[in-house]
Chain A
């Protein structure tokens, strides 16, 4: 009898806790409302509004429906394809330089016995610097006559390029800035992965007589695949959305001669300096599709599971 009563009490208590959890489980949704409304207002609504605008000729207030004309206009615009080319050129070189270089630096830092934290901080500093401020400083660093880079090049007898004042070198100026800014992030992510590789694998390899280089090639690199895929995808998305640094260095039309105008800058130029919000919206959707396609390709290439 006593046992039954205890059992009943325990059951009742369990039921109470369950109900309490159920109630509180619902209550937590209340706390999600503000951020959910924020997303709805500032992300979901603009996405649909932008889609609607892409079918209109709009100066911000007065608008009329023109069907697919904006898409036709963007897709047949040399400036747009030039912006696509610039975006891809800068993005590809940023990625193929930064990821391997960052990985090499991370490996070196990982193998050092002293000062690891110092190097981590040192390399990560550019990444926490505002890209706008960094771009302004780089304009001075790459100044054709007063810049430190050309001073060094001149001192060692190499030709001093015009950098941002020459369309043939301006993209490289942006790539140098982008590599400098992103490499700290790549190093930190690679280091995190490097430190997670079990040391037993290296010990076993050593017993089998593998050299340091062989261990790096056959243990370290294969174990980094997931990190490389992550960096590739985030790097691509960031590269395709590039705007801030090119705006600071070359204005909305990507001076000189549109040589550093990216897709983001093209959208800004047409939308906010030319009041062609329909064209800007259409270009935004085309950019969205391009990012979607290339992210999909990246996922396939890198075999990353999402």
Chain B
């Protein structure tokens, strides 16, 4: 009898353990509310960045900002019966996390800066059919170049297609400190400066500041992580380009072109007017503080510039000029975050509704006014909130003129090869010519293996 009891208790323990484990592995309920046009429909949306669940204090501005529940409430009001849930994640490691999520069919809609890497996996839904059949979606509402920038190749595509629509905007521009320009008696940068203009002004503002007596540097650019993009923009400013093609089988690099060589020589020259630590992302620590000692900052983005500038009360001091553009007015890295629908989504129609909602004024205003991210639609240019921040206007201009489509190698091995070779040139390990030849050789060999 005792043995039987022991056997039962053993079985019970086993069953409990298995149940506990299965509960951990189980998927959650996919059905939504019972009433309304969208009754029973439910989607999960993955969002990356500074989004918060509930109202919270912004660490930069110190102001209370509304949580993402505002979007949930409005979306569910507009779509009776539907339920939307969010999976929020920080920027750190978002690629790996997105890959893991998409492999396990975790969400219906993804905020996906790495669209060009995920679309070829065949895990995303092409959006053109939805755009074609939905009269409410007008692609003209997006800032120019934003839709084109996100066109990528899917698994079986031979032409660039829309797999994602712009949600968060981004851009690259040149920022500068007007106070240092005034101290040195140098004219502010023009709206579309040339390499020559930037170089001349940087040289004039390096040394002991005539007003404060403190050491000033004419220029700073990141010599490591994003240096490849800074260099490519320099080539674009001379009507050069990184190469051509989008699918790996068609890609041909042009890293050793005369424009690239001239661009790298320009960076090597500018290094003499910059703080010592630029190759290790150092030397710009005082930027956007009252003690700033760098006059011109290359390859800056709105996320790190706009909100901190206004939060620090430096709006009268900071100026924005466009990056170097080619004869067609195009140049600089295309960046941002589009929204994409997972192929595995069970509620694709509702997912599409979310994309429409998230790219409309209500959500885009929330993105800018509460989260401090950059909207991607033209209407944003005339909002009261953006007009109160005049620095946003050159940002919108920069968003409308980057190089499109996004560099297909932007997060692949050629980017790291080129970055490492720019670093090698900047640290004197190789000449500009040797560095670019090596980058060209290694990137070409790499892409050959991908074909």
* B435 and chain A: residue at smallest CB distance: A257
Contact between B412 and A253, CB atoms less than 8 A apart: no
Contact between A251 and B278, CB atoms less than 8 A apart: no
For the complex formed, measure the closest distance between the CB of A81 and the CB atoms of chain B, giving whole angstroms.
14
Contact between B282 and A164, CB atoms less than 8 A apart: yes
For the complex formed, measure the closest distance between the CB of A28 and the CB atoms of chain B, giving whole angstroms.
11
Contacts of A59 in B (CB 8 A): 117, 120-121
* B425 and chain A: residue at smallest CB distance: A257
A249–B279 Cα distance when bound, in Å, is 11
From A106-114, A272-280, A293-301, the one touching the partner chain is A272-280
A26–B7 Cα distance when bound, in Å, is 11
Contact between B413 and A270, CB atoms less than 8 A apart: yes
The listed residue with most B CB atoms (<10 A of its CB), out of A250, A253, A256, A272, is A256
Contact between A30 and B277, CB atoms less than 8 A apart: no
Contact between B95 and A256, CB atoms less than 8 A apart: no
A59-B120, A167-B429 known; A253-B420 Cβ under 8 A: yes
What count of chain A residues pass the 8 Å CB interface test?
42
B389 at the interface (CB under 8 A from A): no
A144–B283 Cα distance when bound, in Å, is 8
B276 at the interface (CB under 8 A from A): yes
* B3 and chain A: residue at smallest CB distance: A23
B223 at the interface (CB under 8 A from A): yes
Contact between B416 and A34, CB atoms less than 8 A apart: no
* 0/1 interface trace, chain A 71-93, chain B, CB 8 Å (1 if under): 00100001000000000000000
B10 at the interface (CB under 8 A from A): yes
For the complex formed, measure the closest distance between the CB of A208 and the CB atoms of chain B, giving whole angstroms.
56
Instruction: Give chain B's interface secondary structure class.
Output: helix
Contact between B416 and A61, CB atoms less than 8 A apart: no
Contact between A256 and B280, CB atoms less than 8 A apart: yes
Q: Which of A62, A146, A273 contacts B121 (CB 8 A)?
A: A62
* 0/1 interface trace, chain B 276-309, chain A, CB 8 Å (1 if under): 1111101101000000000000000000000000
* A166 and chain B: residue at smallest CB distance: B427
For the complex formed, measure the closest distance between the CB of A76 and the CB atoms of chain B, giving whole angstroms.
10
A277–B278 Cα distance when bound, in Å, is 31
Contacts of A167 in B (CB 8 A): 423-424, 427, 429
The listed residue with most B CB atoms (<10 A of its CB), out of A23, A61, A250, is A61
Contact between A165 and B413, CB atoms less than 8 A apart: no
Contacts of A170 in B (CB 8 A): 280
For the complex formed, measure the closest distance between the CB of A107 and the CB atoms of chain B, giving whole angstroms.
37
Contact between A73 and B449, CB atoms less than 8 A apart: yes
A162–B420 Cα distance when bound, in Å, is 17
A145-B275, A165-B282, A273-B411 known; A256-B10 Cβ under 8 A: no
Question: Taking beta carbons and an 8 Å cutoff, which residues of A are in contact with B?
Answer: 23, 26-27, 30, 33-34, 37, 59-62, 69, 73, 78, 139, 143-146, 162-167, 170, 249-253, 255-258, 269-270, 272-276
Show 15 A/B contacts (Cβ-Cβ < 8 Å), sorted by A. A23-B6, A30-B17, A34-B17, A144-B276, A162-B277, A253-B416, A255-B225, A255-B280, A257-B420, A257-B423, A269-B416, A272-B93, A272-B96, A274-B412, A276-B413
